[in-house]
Chain A
Amino acid sequence: MVLVVHQQNSVSELAKKDVIDIYMGRYKTFPNGEPAEPIDFPLNSIERATFYLQLVGKSEQKINAYWSRLLFSGRASPPQKTSSKLEVIQKLNRDSIAYMHVRDVTKEMKIVYHL
């Protein structure tokens, strides 16, 4: 799996810690201060489960519980929801970041981290 941003995004590389900061709601920006809008695969999808297990070693149910704490404490909003891989690709804009299998990366995307 890889983390990708849009080609127009000025970010060219991220560390694992930066990815965790963004996907776990600690920061709303990339390290350079530009807005970061993470995109998630659908709940219960193999991509989502694999991503969080590889990123922070937590099951999807633990991630859902974690985000319910952050959301309802008003601290942060969870990554954008999608209903399919196609929607993940369509939603990727200059401010967003997404994870996906390396075979699904298109020429509009830039890989910023290999998981």
Chain B
Amino acid sequence: MFIISKRLTAFIALSTLFQLGFSNLAHADVGITFNGFANLGLTYSSNDDLLFRRSILNDGHSGFSVKPDSILGLQTSLRFSKNLDAVGQVILQDRQSSAFTNFLELAFFRYQFNRHWLVKAGRFSTNAYLFTDSRHVSYSFNWARAPIDMYSPAGAVGTLNGIQVEYVTSIDWGTLKVSGALGETKFSDPEVTRFEVDYNNMQIFSAELSRFNWRVQLAHVRADLENVSFDGVEQIKQLDNFVPPVLTPFINELQANILGTGQTISFTSIGGTYSTGDYELVAEHGFYQSDWSLGLASAFSYISLAKTFANLTGFITYSEVDRRKAIQVIDEAAAEQALPAPLLAQLGLITDPLRQKASLNSADQQSFIAGVRWDLAVKWAAKIQLNHVRVTDGSIGLFLLEGSGSRSAGNHVNILNLSLSTTF
């Protein structure tokens, strides 16, 4: 019933936008444009166990490969009237899963009521971070890719399906843009990790202040976790039927922590860019709040400084993701106090593999990045970039663990990228 009502609401919203838009239709206002962006990248990643990927939705690679950083984006913009337009965008990249929703980035209708107010309905960016909505467009920034410590996890909630209201106004020293959105999204990898989770009742608020040489953005996202699914999830749901009653409270705690039952997650971020003369400074900090064991609270940060010399721009960046809570699937201290050794051992047989799974899902790493962008022709840029990544013990960071699951190649990864990016 709830699903039907949500679809009905979406249908009514889209119908209203169409009626409003076409009531103002004039032939001269109608138009369609096609655009695209591309990045051809050759990447070398040094660690054979920790496979490099630019997003947690992507496949991982070590050694030389063109797959991690090669991207093709295709966009269509349709204009129906002076007030109504639509945008669709698909991005071809090295996703783990071939589900179409992992390639569809934008698909929304937009109605502009007046100079200040507009509404969007469909699939669009959550704008959780400064570059969430352009993180795939390599040509738009100096890096070969937006810092993975911040933007790789953004892949899980980079877009949502819903409705957004936006207000823009001029103030004495700049422009203020405020938006609020409601919707839902899904992290889906049904083919490889078989990990899926719904983020429902998403509520997003963002405010952006900008002037020609600086931009500051504040964003807050919250969502309810539902329908967490992965290999073995049914066994976890039924665990309490197969353990002695004395273990039931601990198993129930474990089920709640792993399945995320009734959990709410939130992101809060602040970021800004400032340019003066040939220098450009970009910095962001985001905080992800969650008690869900498979996605524990973390802080994401980076700071980057760039200097332009004619057509060359050199940059250095430090970025990190910092796990803020210890990995815990049950209250171990309480279990040690309450249970005799044999039962504690029995409980450990159940919890240890799940703690390991939680550990693999929890990122903690630091990156040192240096590179050069060369604007070699109109709308063409070549880049060279080196990332040195240090992964904290017990974590695989934002990498993908090689199939055998063994770890003998250490906790450091060097990633060298040569790429060519363009727009058309």
Contacts and interface: CB of A to CB of B under 8 A. Distances in A.
A109 to B, nearest CB: 20
Contacts of B418: none
A43 B213 contact: no
A73 B134 contact: yes
Given A33-B115, A68-B139, A72-B37, A26 B168 contact: yes
A69 B82 contact: no
B404 interface: no
A31 to B, nearest CB: 8
Interface in B83-111: 87, 89, 106, 108, 110
A69 B213 contact: no
Given A33-B114, A64-B379, A77-B77, A26 B210 contact: yes
Interface stretch (A4-12, A16-24, A82-90, A100-108): A16-24
Interface residues of A, number: 32
Contacts, number: 86
B133 A26 contact: no
Nearest to B108: A74
Contacts of A29: 114-115
A55 B379 CA distance: 21
A114 interface: no
Contacts of B137: 68-69, 72-73
B115 A65 contact: no
B82 A35 contact: yes
Interface in B155-173: 168, 170
Given A69-B134, A77-B77, A57 B114 contact: no
B124 to A, nearest CB: 7
Q: Which of A24, A57, A75 has the most CB of B within 10 A?
A: A75
Contacts of A68: 37, 134, 137, 139-140, 379, 423
Q: Which of B77, B115, B311 has the most CB of A within 10 A?
A: B115
Given A57-B213, A72-B134, 6 more contacts: A21-B170, A60-B378, A64-B139, A71-B75, A73-B133, A73-B134
